[in-house]
Structure 1
Amino acid sequence: MTATVKSSPLGLTVLVLLHHRPLHPYGIQQLLKRWGKVHVVNVGQRAGLYRTIERLQAGGLIAVRQTERDQLYPERTVYEVTDEGRAVTRDWLEQMLAVPKAEFPVFPAALSNMLMLSPAEVLPILERRAARLADRRAELERQTADAEVGLPRITLIENEYLLAVLGAEERWLQGVMSDLRDGSLTWSAEMLAAFQEASEPTSDE
């Protein structure tokens, strides 16, 4: 049955949270926010969390523990991880840690098509990205510092990684923008057309 359940960052995180104690979806969402997991899993829409929970339940990885009824809140279904879910959690975690996955983020795709714009058009666009990256890094540093009091390093290890990645991208981006400013990185429609013509095979080949 578990073969039909595809691993995902949110699915793994839900399973890990349920290892600690049974929870209802709202409790899961609140813990994700409180523990800063929103930086590494997409919980922007509650519907996505409910769909993930449905998939995990259909695959036998979690089960209904009980239904809570309270006059102050709507009926809430509490879930717990199953024995099968515990085994799958470990397998997913080992795979995600050990095996680099071929992912296709939007920024490299945009870079590969950047030649559609001119260098003069690209520079201010990348400057806007650099400013947003700096803001994001500063916010993540602030949140990490606020959460660090008394917490073991392992509980914030994903923030450490994200900050390293952000820093690396910022340094690379600054280098590219510098090259655009001094003209060492440049292109034109004529240059690209000449390159394409030169790289096309001749009729004799």
Structure 2
Amino acid sequence: MARKVRNLLGLAVLAAVAERPMHPYEMATVIRERGKERDMGLKWGSLYTVVGNLHRHGFIEVAENARDGARPERTVYRITGDGRRELQDWVRELIAVPVHEPPRFEAGLSVWVALDPDEVIGLLRQRLARLDEENAAQRAALEAHRRQVPRMFLVEAEYDLALREADAEFTRGLLDELARGAFPDLRQWRDWHAEGGDLTGN
């Protein structure tokens, strides 16, 4: 469905203020502490624009204008009934409706024959090394968070790690096939680059 606010930062803001009223700086702090910045690919430069849009569409409202000492006045927002319904409906859609968004790696694989197989092998080795390093760091971070944060706030991080580990295992298997020369049509692929011919053999 078409949403009045489509930026995922809007979803993160609604989830934050559903807990308690907050000013935008506190929203950003809570969202960062829970790792939503990574999960949703958030762009912080649009935070105040998103908050303004949520307010304009009636999903949040001003609770108070607060001042702490000599600091500038801050507007504290709370979620409205419409905002809570929008949050719940948005979450239902994200969980229940699968959307295929081809990742960059998939796009690259779809045209990888443009490169020589030996170059592809080298690139896959680079990719695998990075994945293994990043996955190890992510596993360690997840374990650290588990000691402080309830699992209900970490499930998306577990899902992301599972996807990345599956990516690494696929890459490892593909690399092994290519490096051992067991990949079907590898000779034809090499000859095509060596001779500038047609992969179909014509």
Against the structure 1 CA distance between its residues 51 and 103, is the aligned structure 2 distance closer, same or farther, given a 3 Å change threshold?
A: farther
CA distance in 2, matches of 1:49, 1:11: 8
Q: What are the equivalent positions in structure 2 for 1:1-205 lying under 5 Å apart?
A: 4-43=3-42, 45-71=43-69, 73-149=71-147, 151-185=149-183, 186=186, 187-188=189-190, 190=192, 193-195=198-200
Q: 1:73 to 1:179 in 2, by over 3 A?
A: farther
Give per-residue Cα distances to partners, 1:22-60, cap 9 Å, x unaligned: 1122111111221122230223x4213233223322322
Contact kept? 1:24, 1:76, Cα under 8 Å: yes
> Following TM superposition, where does structure 1 have runs of at least 4 consecutive aligned residues deviating by more than 6 angstroms?
none
Instruction: State the TM-score, normalizing by the size of structure 2.
Output: 0.84
SS at match of 2:75: strand
Structure 1 Cα separation of the partners of residues 178 and 139 of structure 2: 29
Distance, in Å, in 1 between the alignment partners of 2:73 and 2:130 is: 41
Secondary structure of 2:126's counterpart equals helix
CA contact (8 A) 2:11 2:87 kept: yes
Distance apart, 1:93 and its partner CA = 0.6
3-state SS of 1:142 partner: helix
Match of 2:192, as an amino acid?
A: E
Identity of aligned residues (%): 33
Distance 1:143 1:16 in 2: 23
* Equivalent residue letter for 1:195: T
Please tell me whether the aligned partners of residues 5 and 54 of structure 2 are also in contact (alpha carbons under 8 angstroms).
no
| Alignment RMSD (CA, Å) | 2.4
Alignment-mate amino acid for residue 38 of structure 1: E
Q: 1:78 to 1:121 in 2, by over 3 A?
A: same
Q: Are the counterparts in 2 of residues 25 and 49 from structure 1 also a CA contact under 8 Å?
A: yes
Distance 1:137 1:60 in 2: 40
Identify unmatched segments of 5+ residues in structure 2: none
Matched-pair contact (CA < 8 Å) for 2:54–2:60: yes
1:123-182 deviation line (CA, Å, top 9, x unaligned): 121211112211221121111111212543222111211121111111100011111101
Tell me, which stretches of 5 or more residues in structure 1 are unaligned? 198-205
For the residues of structure 2 that align with 1:116 and 1:3, how far apart are their CA atoms? 39
User: What TM-score results when the alignment is normalised by the length of structure 1?
Assistant: 0.83
Q: What is the rounded CA distance, in whole Å, between the counterparts of 2:49 and 2:133 in structure 1?
A: 32
